[in-house]
A and B are shown apart, each in its own frame.
Chain A
């Protein structure tokens, strides 16, 4: 025909500035005009094309050809062959990288979470139908074949947990979905429950059938009102469709689901504390064994699975264990959802196959560090995890590797840190979180955490000495060994891992009494550089405590003993005459 409408999408991926992309669009528009095809080709500047630091990119619709890293000389050729014609220039073409693999998030953002029909249309509840048509031993066998491990942090094989509960004799058994997500910066579970609640419900039906449970509970924190609302609706819809209730799919299996709200205590994500909370008691952990899969809720065998684990279960039964186990590494199968946050350009939820490197996650998916700052470290696993320094970013992500580095997979928080972050400050932040959230039942966690925080505060105020580093290590060791539950055992991880990889930085704080990035307020000092100062008096007027003295003739000085380090003078100065050191 020759008059086909085409659209070309352009983007300069080396820069966040839209002006650079505009230049590229103009080049194309000019080339098209001289070829007199501009009236049937639209040039569109896009804000993000999914590739980073690959130079110029053009994507041609409808053929979906993409060219990257070309220069101005290539433009006439691209116009001639691929825009006027339909030819593909192989030397310039790139494939859209497919680093993400969506299993858990397969429907998130694609279906209406409040409409069960859309979930069914995308293959939903097929897995449950299949699972309920075989014996429960077969169900557990399939989960075993898939290699699925708990996504809540520990990485315990899911089938084993189910098997323990299945083999325990009891008149009643329970399955609990742990949606008490409390790590700072993590929100995978919330998004799954809000975006695709039925996939989790389906996983629970399958799990309930496997262990012979007749009742299941969602334990969702009350801070997630939208998630609760959508899960409530999803349960009601599933019930009206006959996927929950008596005699599901005519198999004689009956299963009920209920929601229990958590009041937002971090420790209630721990299995035994969670059970206590559902029972209406105070949410404190109790010693294990007996494990919940033997003696859990109201003394009955109980399996507690994380939201993401259960969403994986429904996928495994829909698509088969093979489809799941073909993804990932030797010991860690499948994918993992991470909440990528911190100093990163594209913060958000990502789902990647196990075995991908942290560097790929940060630079190829996340689009690099904010403001092109050098990356310093990546923190995984929230307050129970650790910090992984830049030089180890090429490590493949799986349960074992992260553990070796002194971090954990955790539930999936991933926080990117740039050179602007102080490691002492970071470890203080995480430890403070655990100290606040400690239930206080056992002494190592209650006292140890508090003492460690005191030492860290001392260091960040410039009052520390070298013995403090040893003291930190000693208390950390005691906490790891003697705490009652996972919270206390893992609370020192952020401190230990920063001490391991960034000991120099601690020593700077202790010996030189400086914080190079200026995060530790106690170590900061503000100075007026007289060469740059124009004696305008702006800092003098803004200082809330009168720590700046002088006048417009003699100039101004900061009285260090009065200064409270609020930084207002630093911000108000237009001449860069105030320095912080």
Chain B
């Protein structure tokens, strides 16, 4: 894997219905604005539809986690806390992948 990290947004019907498009737009814009070396990717349904929209974050030096029930504010928090300050944050993690 490349050292470049990524965020992945679940964008199937279940995610989109829960507001994944807004989350995608916010993440894309904020990451571009801050010029972060993080790729923004789309993906399908992970199966945890109760927690949509889901955002998986994988950057070097931090565990690979999936944030659930993400809205615009939490998306901003992902950028500020997780991607910029390298701090995983409370109460919104629904899955720890590694």
Residues of A within 8 A of B (CB): 5, 7, 9, 18, 25, 42, 44-50, 59, 61-62, 64, 105, 107-114, 187, 190-191, 194-196, 224, 226-227, 345-351
Q: In the bound complex, do residue B68 and residue A48 qualify as a contact, i.e. CB atoms below 8 Å apart?
A: yes
Complex contacts, A351 vs chain B, CB 8 Å: 47
Assuming A42-B88, A44-B93, A48-B94, is B46 touching A108 (CB within 8 A)? yes
Q: What are 26 A-B pairs at a CB distance below 8 A?
A: A7-B88, A25-B90, A47-B68, A47-B69, A48-B68, A48-B94, A61-B63, A61-B96, A62-B63, A108-B46, A108-B47, A109-B54, A109-B56, A110-B43, A111-B43, A113-B42, A113-B44, A190-B13, A191-B12, A191-B44, A194-B12, A194-B44, A195-B44, A195-B45, A227-B13, A349-B45
Output the least CB separation between A64 and chain B (Å): 7
Output the least CB separation between B63 and chain A (Å): 5
CB-CB nearest in chain B for A195:
B44
Residues of B within 8 A of A (CB): 8, 10, 12-14, 16, 41-51, 54, 56, 61-63, 68-69, 87-96, 98
Q: In the bound complex, do residue A7 and residue B44 qualify as a contact, i.e. CB atoms below 8 Å apart?
A: no
Q: In the bound complex, do residue A48 and residue B91 qualify as a contact, i.e. CB atoms below 8 Å apart?
A: no
Complex contacts, B47 vs chain A, CB 8 Å: 105, 108-109, 191, 348-351
Q: In the bound complex, do residue B12 and residue A47 qualify as a contact, i.e. CB atoms below 8 Å apart?
A: no
Q: In the bound complex, do residue A47 and residue B92 qualify as a contact, i.e. CB atoms below 8 Å apart?
A: yes
Assuming A42-B87, A45-B90, A62-B63, is B44 touching A50 (CB within 8 A)? no
A47 partner, pick from B13, B14, B62, B93, beta carbons under 8 A: B93
Complex contacts, A7 vs chain B, CB 8 Å: 62-63, 88
Complex contacts, A346 vs chain B, CB 8 Å: 48, 50-51
Complex contacts, A42 vs chain B, CB 8 Å: 87-88
Give bound CA distance, A112 to B8, whole Å: 9
Give bound CA distance, A64 to B45, whole Å: 25
Assuming A45-B90, A47-B68, A347-B49, is B14 touching A191 (CB within 8 A)? yes
Complex contacts, B56 vs chain A, CB 8 Å: 109
Output the least CB separation between A59 and chain B (Å): 6
Complex contacts, A108 vs chain B, CB 8 Å: 43-47
Give bound CA distance, A196 to B42, whole Å: 12
CB-CB nearest in chain B for A9:
B96
CB-CB nearest in chain A for B51:
A48
Output the least CB separation between B2 and chain A (Å): 12
Q: In the bound complex, do residue A226 and residue B88 qualify as a contact, i.e. CB atoms below 8 Å apart?
A: no
Q: In the bound complex, do residue A348 and residue B43 qualify as a contact, i.e. CB atoms below 8 Å apart?
A: no
3 closest A-B pairs by beta carbon, nearest first, are A195-B44, A109-B46, A348-B49
Which among B14, B42, B51 has the greatest number of chain A C-beta atoms within 10 A? Answer: B14
Complex contacts, A61 vs chain B, CB 8 Å: 63, 96
Output the least CB separation between A67 and chain B (Å): 14
| Dominant SS among interface residues on chain A | loop
Assuming A191-B12, A196-B44, is B50 touching A47 (CB within 8 A)? no
Q: In the bound complex, do residue B96 and residue A114 qualify as a contact, i.e. CB atoms below 8 Å apart?
A: no
Q: In the bound complex, do residue A9 and residue B93 qualify as a contact, i.e. CB atoms below 8 Å apart?
A: yes
Q: In the bound complex, do residue B45 and residue A194 qualify as a contact, i.e. CB atoms below 8 Å apart?
A: yes
Q: A50-B96, A191-B44, A195-B44 are in contact. List 20 more A-B contacts (CB 8 A).
A: A42-B87, A46-B94, A47-B94, A48-B68, A48-B93, A48-B94, A61-B96, A62-B63, A109-B54, A110-B8, A110-B43, A113-B42, A191-B12, A194-B12, A194-B13, A224-B13, A226-B13, A227-B13, A348-B48, A349-B49
Q: In the bound complex, do residue A59 and residue B96 qualify as a contact, i.e. CB atoms below 8 Å apart?
A: yes
Output the least CB separation between B84 and chain A (Å): 16
Complex contacts, A349 vs chain B, CB 8 Å: 45, 47, 49
Give bound CA distance, A351 to B46, whole Å: 11
Complex contacts, A113 vs chain B, CB 8 Å: 42-44
Give bound CA distance, A7 to B98, whole Å: 12
Q: In the bound complex, do residue A347 and residue B50 qualify as a contact, i.e. CB atoms below 8 Å apart?
A: yes
Complex contacts, B42 vs chain A, CB 8 Å: 112-114
Give bound CA distance, A196 to B45, whole Å: 9
Give bound CA distance, A433 to B42, whole Å: 35
Assuming A47-B68, A194-B13, is B93 touching A109 (CB within 8 A)? no
Give bound CA distance, A183 to B54, whole Å: 25
Complex contacts, B13 vs chain A, CB 8 Å: 187, 190-191, 194, 224, 226-227
Q: In the bound complex, do residue B12 and residue A18 qualify as a contact, i.e. CB atoms below 8 Å apart?
A: no
Complex contacts, A46 vs chain B, CB 8 Å: 91, 93-94, 96
Give bound CA distance, A5 to B48, whole Å: 29
Complex contacts, B14 vs chain A, CB 8 Å: 187, 191, 348
Output the least CB separation between B70 and chain A (Å): 11
Assuming A7-B63, A194-B13, is B44 touching A48 (CB within 8 A)? no
Give bound CA distance, A498 to B96, whole Å: 40
B43 partner, pick from A9, A25, A49, A112, beta carbons under 8 A: A112
Give bound CA distance, A44 to B88, whole Å: 7
Q: In the bound complex, do residue A109 and residue B10 qualify as a contact, i.e. CB atoms below 8 Å apart?
A: yes
Complex contacts, B89 vs chain A, CB 8 Å: 44
Complex contacts, A112 vs chain B, CB 8 Å: 41-43
